Structure 1
Amino acid sequence: MPSTQSGTKTASSSGEDTLTEFVQLLLNGVSAGCIYGLIALGFVLIYKATEMVNFAQGDLLMLGAFIAFTLIESFGFNYWLAFVGAVLFMAVFGYLLDTFILRQVIGQPQFAVVMLTIGLGFIFRAGASMVWGTETKAFDTPFTDGVTRLGGFVIADVNLSIVAGTAILCAVLYGFFRYTRIGIAMQAASQNQLAAYYMGIPVKMIFSLIWAISAGVAAVAGILLAPVSLIDVTIGLLGLKAFSAAVLGGFGSIPGAVIGGLLIGVIEQFSGVYLAEGFKDVAAYVVILAVLFLRPQGLFGNIGRKRV
């Protein structure tokens, strides 16, 4: 009898450990997926309006994180002021980037646009390495080293801040696009540029504003990510995994971008534990290949062409 009870307790303990590990991986995956979702959101916003694919989106994340670092470490801003300042700076940067550079290639073949944004990414990384160096940087946040305990689970406050920040930003963007005149004008321009122009909507300015929003969203992702992975010139390469998230969700779907990011994050976490070593690093790319083969329009995308 004692041995039977001991075996029962051991099995129960093993089951609880498995459940704890599962939930912990799920929470970590959601946190990482929120970052992918925010970067993917930038991809989708720009593509939906201009049919451009911005492969420099991840590098805008990197620049936003470095700007926040500079405001905190060099200018003495507190975290929240630096957060707002970096987002506004990157929004202006995105607006000017479209106005003076990207607008010049509208109407050119997609290959030219892709090569331009890839080239811009290299320029951003090279510029960042000249200004901030190649060493990793970090700054303190109100969430650094904090943890929250929920039952038997331990959640880092930085992960909670990522999830909360993503939820708040998505709610703000939803309200902006649904209830403001500029947001409605952006939707109109993304659906039919010519009709929007004839209705008096300044389409070129609207596109620049969309680039501004996309760059601001990237900055938010970079600042939220900074306490987790630190800041260096290579963190922008997360944009490649975020591209997978955008494809998975459907490249024209804003909710799909966030959901795709969450799925990629969760898949990465579980594949890193339950699949062969090293598979975690390629999981996102395996997913994108599978989606392109089985459902090219993504989970929430529609087959069809936009009228211009």
Structure 2
Amino acid sequence: MNEFLGFLVNGLSLGAIYALIALGFVMIFKATSVMNFAHGSIVLLGAYVVGRTHDEVGFWWAALLGILAAAAAAALVDLIVLRHARGADLGTLAILTIGVDTLLSTELTREMGTAILDAGAPWGTSTVHLGGTSVPLSRLVAALVAVVVVAVLWAVFRFTHWGVRMRAAAEDGTTAALMGIRLGRVAAGAWAIAGVLAALAGVFLTSFPSPGISPAAGVTALAAVPAWVLGGFDSFPGAVVGGLVIGVVTALSAGYQEHLLFLGRDLAQVAPYAVMFLVLLVRPSGLFGSKEFARV
């Protein structure tokens, strides 16, 4: 029983990181209907900047630089690449983001080589004992940050003028534009915020128990795609629930791997997609997604 609780707690804490990444996917899809497959390389970029600069400026300033770099890169993807192809179909736009991901991840891989960078996080390898199990402090901090981020996003969308414009653009872009809302600014803001979320997730994704910052972090970040799809393409609560579900599934699959060898090795990598597939068979729009978005 203690073993199961340990896997569960660790899965929930991992799910908080996936939720941060999935929130970025939702932010962009809700504002522009674009499936942003460049998000993984933006996560890697934010973490890379932190890893390269923390020795000179300290972790907190490095984290700020990583957030700014990821936000700027994400906004530039919208301004330079996607805005000039806005009239294209959604499949073409998604392919463009795959191209951006390939270019950015290739350049970051060239810069990093085979080195594994230390994120320099102040929590180091510290763990916290909860209910007879040890949980990395980084995962608990990630869970706390995820809660704060969700609360802030809710407040922004509920009480700010930008949030109202964002909701209007997501509901009916044509009418919003006729009412004077600049859809381009809304889209650029959404991409920038998604970049901020990507950088935050990157810091925690590459902290202990991860070995550090390497090109593999970008691929690992894409493990949040099942969380995004499972929760619903355009649902912020769905991103959180999906992240927690996928985190638990991943942790349990890895923890009980030896008892499930008849299903094959590397089950933890396959199980999230299997769960996503089963849920979509019953609810094609995800657990909380809008049916209109699911049909696009």
Give the TM-score normalised by structure 2.
0.91
CA distance in 2, matches of 1:170, 1:29: 19
Matches within 5 A, 1:109-148: 109-148=89-128
Name the counterpart of 1:168. Answer: 148
Secondary structure at the counterpart of residue 101 of structure 1? helix
Residue aligned with 1:142, SS? coil
Q: How does 1:40-51 map to 2 (within 5 A)?
A: 40-51=22-33
Match of 1:71 among 46, 53, 59: 53
Shift of 1:25: 0.5
Q: Following the alignment from structure 1 to structure 2, what is the Cα–Cα distance between the partners of residues 263 and 249?
A: 9
Structure 1 window deviating more from structure 2 (35-44 vs 150-159): it is 150-159
The answer (yes or no) to whether the contact 2:251–2:268 under 8 Å persists in 1 is: yes
Map residues 171-250 of structure 1 onto 2, 5 A cutoff: 171-228=151-208, 229=210, 230-250=212-232
Q: Deviations over 1:270-295 (max 9, x none)?
A: 12233334211201111122122221
- Aligned equivalent of 2:278: 290
> How far apart, in 2, do the equivalents of 1:211 and 1:302 lie?
21
Q: CA deviation at 1:121?
A: 0.9
One-letter code aligned to 1:109:
D
Structure 1 residue 151 displacement after superposition:
4.9
Q: Deviations over 1:64-112 (max 9, x none)?
A: 0001112213xx1221222122112221222222111111121212221
Cα 1:217–1:305 change in 2 (3 A) is closer
Could you tell me how far apart the structure 1 residues matched to 2:185 and 2:278 are?
A: 37
Whether contact under 8 Å (1:90, 1:215) holds in the other structure is yes
**Which SS does the other structure have where 1:137 is aligned?**
coil
Cα distance in structure 1, aligned partners of 2:62 and 2:137: 19
Alignment partners' CA distance in 1, 2:105 and 2:190: 23
> In the alignment, is the contact (CA less than 8 A) between 1:162 and 1:225 conserved in 2?
no
Q: Is the 8 A contact 2:119 2:203 kept in 1?
A: no
In the superposition, the TM-score normalised over structure 1's length comes to 0.88
Post-superposition offset of 1:34: 1.3
Task: Give 4+ residue runs of structure 1 displaced > 6 Å after superposition.
Answer: none
Q: Please give the alpha-carbon distance, in whole angstroms, between the structure 2 residues aligned to 1:71 and 1:135.
A: 15
The percentage of aligned residue pairs carrying the same residue is 37
Q: Unmatched 5+ residue regions in structure 2?
A: none
Does structure 1 conserve the Cα–Cα contact (< 8 Å) formed by 2:205 and 2:217?
no
- Separation in structure 1 between the aligned mates of residue 254 and residue 293 of structure 2, nearest angstrom: 38
Question: What is the aligned partner in structure 2 of residue 153 from structure 1?
Answer: 133
2:244 equivalent to 1:262: yes
User: Is it true that 1:87 corresponds to 2:67 in the alignment?
Assistant: yes
Greater C-alpha radius of gyration: 1
Q: Please list the CA deviations of residues 247-276 of structure 1 after superposition, one character each: whole Å capped at 9, or x if unmatched.
A: 111111111011101100101111223333
One-letter amino acid matched to 1:63 = L
Paired AA for residue 273 in structure 1: G
User: What are the superposed Cα offsets for residues 166-191 of structure 1, whole Å, 9 maximum, x if unpaired?
Assistant: 11111221111111111221111111
Alignment partner for residue 104 of structure 1, among 84, 98, 102?
Answer: 84
Alignment match of 1:28 (pick from 1, 10, 19): 10
Structure-1 separation of matches of 2:148 and 2:57 = 23
Amino acid at match of 1:135: A
What amino acid is aligned across from residue 291 of structure 1 in structure 2? Answer: V
The aligned amino acid for 1:87 is I
Deviations 1:103-146 (A, max 9, x none): 11212122211211111111111110222223221132111122
Contact 1:125/1:234 (<8 A) preserved: no
CA RMSD of aligned residues (A): 1.6
Gaps of 5+ in 1: 1-18
Give CA-to-partner distance per residue, 1:206-241, whole Å, 9 cap, x none.
Answer: 101101111111011001222132111121113432
